Amino acid sequence: MKISKNTLQIIEKLEKNYGSEVVKYLNYETPWQLLFATILSAQCTDARVNIVTKELFKKFDTVEKFADCDLKELESYIYTTGFYKNKAKNIKSCAKVLLEKYDGNVPKDIDELVLLPGVGRKTANVIRGNIYNEPSIVVDTHVKRISNKLGLTKETDPVKVEYDLMKKLPKSHWILFNIHIIKLGRTICIARNPKCEECFLKENCKSYKLKN
């Protein structure tokens, strides 16, 4: 696969500014904790999820406890993350499937991961990248928005964005791309007010070039 010069420059600049450490935005100690934390992170900030899981994982400290839990009790722990009824139902069902099919472990294969209740490609890729170190691109709101601005995709559907990025980015940078772009999106390329003039990617950014 031939990577364009512009894409290589973007990657080099991201790495120069943000390093090559695989930063964890969600707190977890086990694969199933990351899986449930990621389910909770839909439409919610990582900071809020981390506050919620601090108490949640103390109370429910095994997959079995999630599988056997009283839904109302689980809801009471996670309601501040939004869509809590659905999330509680999915987490409980997911815990049951993990026990029934995988002996309480989290599968590695993306086709198996996406069959778990409440798990889409985004969550599956979080698990593959963070737990199994498998090259995978997590397309969240920052990655979707900023990949469009940079000209790496024209798609808005996260799965199509993921496939475009898989074609454009070197595999060695798939996991780090999400980590770097989240940082850029939180500090410089802020959705409502991108600070383009101070952005280290402005010479490589399609959106910036179109406006200037």
Distance of closest approach, residue 97 Cβ to ligand SF4, in angstroms: 39
Distance of closest approach, residue 194 Cβ to ligand SF4, in angstroms: 4
CB nearer to ligand SF4: pick between 50 and 207 = 207
What angle is formed at CA 122 by the lines to CA 127 and CA 88, rounded to 5 degrees?
80
CB nearer to ligand SF4: pick between 71 and 191 = 191
CB nearer to ligand SF4: pick between 54 and 209 = 209
Residues forming contacts to ligand SF4 in the complex (CB under 6 A) are 146, 149-150, 188-189, 194-196, 199, 201-202, 205, 207-208
Q: Is 211 a catalytic residue?
A: no
Catalytic residue among 140, 149, 164, 168: 140
Catalytic residue among 46, 87, 92, 122: 122
- In which residue are the tokens 């309601």 written? 79
Handedness of CA 90, 96, 98, 100 (dihedral sign): negative
Q: Which residues contact 5 (CB under 8 A, 6 or more apart)?
A: none
H or E stretch covering 53 = helix 46-59
CB nearer to ligand SF4: pick between 99 and 196 = 196
Distance of closest approach, residue 129 Cβ to ligand SF4, in angstroms: 22
Alpha carbon distance 113, 107 (integer Å)? 6
Distance of closest approach, residue 134 Cβ to ligand SF4, in angstroms: 27
Q: Which residues contact 9 (CB under 8 A, 6 or more apart)?
A: 203, 204
Q: Is 103 a catalytic residue?
A: no
Q: Are 195 and 184 in contact (CB under 8 A)?
A: no
Q: Which residues are catalytic?
A: 122, 140
